[in-house]
Structures are given as C-alpha cells and as structure tokens.
Structure 1
C-alpha cells in the first residue's frame, strides 16, 4: 500500500514548499496539499517539530527542514538521480538554487529602501554568473543531470519561474537551461498541476 503524504506549507506558489509539490506532481503521486494563511501558521507553529515550514507527514510521522523533505520526496518518487555520483550532482544543483533563492528573498523581504536597492544591484550582478555556471554544467538532453527528469530540474524551474514571469528573455543566452524549463513544463503531471494550482499573490 502506497504511503499517504500530507504537505503543509504557506499559501504561495513559490518557495521551498512549492518544490515538494512539483516533485509529487511530476511523479504523479497524490498528496494532501495543506496551504496555510500566515495567521493559521501562527496558531499551528508551536505544534510543529521545529517551528517551521514546510512539514511533510507520512503515515503519522512528521519531518521538517526543506532539504530533508526534498531528498526524501525525490528518493520516494525516483527523481533523485542514480545512486552515487549522479545523485551528488543533483544535490549540488539543488543546493546552488538555494543560494539564488536566498538572494532573491533578501531583496523581497528587505524593508529599508536603500538596502533593498543595494541587494537588487548585487542580485543583478549575481544572476548572469549563476546562470552561466549552470549552463556550462548542464547536460545536453534537456536535463541538468543525466538523461531523465530529476528534482534538480524541478528546483531550477521553481527558482527561475518567478524571474521568467518578470523577464521572459532571462534565459535567451542559455539554450540548455531553456530546454530544461521547456522539458519540465512538458511533464504531464507538472503541466496539470500548474494549470490547476490555486492563484496566489506569490
């Protein structure tokens, strides 16, 4: 009997919880998708294992820490890459996306306007180098690693999707990365999920 998954995260279409949703969607795995408003989370926070989201419940047991959840979900769904070197490469790309995400969050959540502008400038300088490195390291089959979809591809799509909404030309100099995004969007489960996911401000 297949395990039942319950994912709890904010009511947002970006961020760490969204990657878990994409992993399950790409693999065609059903899961309970609990989306919390900020006020709902404040009431629930004290009962969570580490006081943070996302949380994944499997058979009555709960884990948190997004990296642990990513790896667990990817292994369970066959999206973590072949064991050994390929799996390490997948984790490398996913960890790199965290660097980009943290810089983007730094801009978004900064309230001091002067500091926000400084962070925007730093991000604008960081992104081309980041994408250039990923383009060099990317495989030639429309996947960051290997010849089939892994959660590295999903992590890249999840992190770059918001940029592409604002800058549709952001990947025009990066044909291999463009193919990664196209292949993720072509996945039947991902395409269905994106078409049906709730509208959110984020």
Structure 2
C-alpha cells in the first residue's frame, strides 16, 4: 500500500472532508496533516497550483479535490465499478463542487455586497441545486446504486457546511426548509456507525 499524506486546513468539512471520510471508512492508513488558516501562505508555496487539498502518494503531490475523492473512494471500495454508475457518481460530485465554487466566490465581500451576492447564490444556484439533488436521490438511501459511495460523502460534507451557520446570509435552515429529503439523508448518514466513530475521534 502506498504511503499517503493528506494536507488541508484544520477544520471539520471543506473539500478534504470526503477524502478523509472515505479513507477512514475504508480502513486506509494516511497521515492527516492539518494546518491553521494563518499557515496557509507558507503551506501553499510547496503545493501544486498553490492550493489544497493535496494528497501525497509515496511522496508525489497530487491536487484537485474531486480527483482525490475518486481515488480515495476506489481505495476504500466506495466508488462504483460500473462505468455508467461511475459517471452518475462524478455528476453528483461535480455539481457539489460547482455550487461550492459559487459560494467561495463571495468570500472577501463585505456589507451590502456580501448580502446581495449570498442572496443571489442562494436563489440562483443553491436552491435549484438542492432540488436537483433531491430528485437524484429519490426514495433511495444513497445516491448511487443505493450503496454508500463518495457521492454521498461529498454531499454530506456540503450539507454540513450549509447547516453549520458559518455562512453569513445563507440560512442554516436552508436545507431543512427547501430540501427536507436531503436533510433526512444528512441526519441518517451522520448516524452511520463509522461516521459517528470518525467524528468521535476527530
């Protein structure tokens, strides 16, 4: 087994969280290197493209969060083997990444500019995206083949962020109010024994 080192901010959530969860659930050993926001200017000097997460695989640094999530999912047995189901898995992860980028684009704004930007993101992207995810999930427990996959873990981290109250001018009740099926999915997944174990120890 390759030696793995994952580098990301010292936070619960974010783009590295699905990678961390997949590796943990799969029983894959890895170094979970976390750093503070204040350390990022120095850390980014040694990362590909000056960004994180980065996964070092036997010393080779690889970036791009969805690619790393896919890789971790394959190692952990949490990625579909069927090509079409893999496509659907990537569709879910890509859509979550797209809307995450929309939110991140509002970082640094203040005052009325931030309020306006967050309201636009909520109405034009977040609510339609939550509705789309609800349709994709349907009556199933999980998104892909009704089996736990990294599509679920990516969505879990995203919903946790939206529910956290850390995003000013995006209501923490947004998911529950506009996508109660997704809120139920989130609540259920947070009770998964290995996920409970992960958060109890991290």
TM-score, normalised by the number of residues in structure 1: 0.85
Would the alpha carbon gap of residues 179 and 81 (structure 1) be closer, same or farther in structure 2, given more than 3 Å must change?
farther
Would the alpha carbon gap of residues 111 and 177 (structure 1) be closer, same or farther in structure 2, given more than 3 Å must change?
closer
Deviations 1:69-99 (A, max 9, x none): 1111111111122321111001000011012
Would the alpha carbon gap of residues 182 and 30 (structure 1) be closer, same or farther in structure 2, given more than 3 Å must change?
farther
Would the alpha carbon gap of residues 134 and 99 (structure 1) be closer, same or farther in structure 2, given more than 3 Å must change?
same
**For 2:189, which of 177, 184, 194 is the aligned residue?**
184
Given the alignment of the two structures, is residue 115 of structure 1 paired with residue 113 of structure 2, yes or no? yes
SS at match of 1:7: strand
SS at match of 1:29: coil
Question: Which structure has the higher relative contact order (CA within 8 Å, separation 6+)?
Answer: 1
Distance, in Å, in 2 between the alignment partners of 1:190 and 1:33 is: 16
Counterpart mapping for 1:137-156 below 5 A? 137-156=136-155
What is the match of residue 168 of structure 2?
none
Please report how far the alpha carbon of residue 116 of structure 1 lies from its aligned counterpart in structure 2 after TM superposition: 0.8
What is the match of residue 76 of structure 1?
75
Distance, in Å, in 2 between the alignment partners of 1:110 and 1:58 is: 33
SS at match of 1:137: helix
Given the alignment of the two structures, is residue 161 of structure 1 paired with residue 156 of structure 2, yes or no? no
RMSD across aligned positions (CA):
2.1
8 Å contact 1:142–1:179 — kept in the other structure? no
What is the match of residue 169 of structure 2?
none
- Runs of 4+ more than 4 Å apart: none
8 Å contact 1:106–1:119 — kept in the other structure? no
Please report how far the alpha carbon of residue 42 of structure 1 lies from its aligned counterpart in structure 2 after TM superposition: 2.4
What is the match of residue 5 of structure 1?
4
TM-score, normalised by the number of residues in structure 2: 0.85
SS at match of 1:33: strand
Length, aligned pairs only:
195
Distance, in Å, in 2 between the alignment partners of 1:46 and 1:128 is: 36
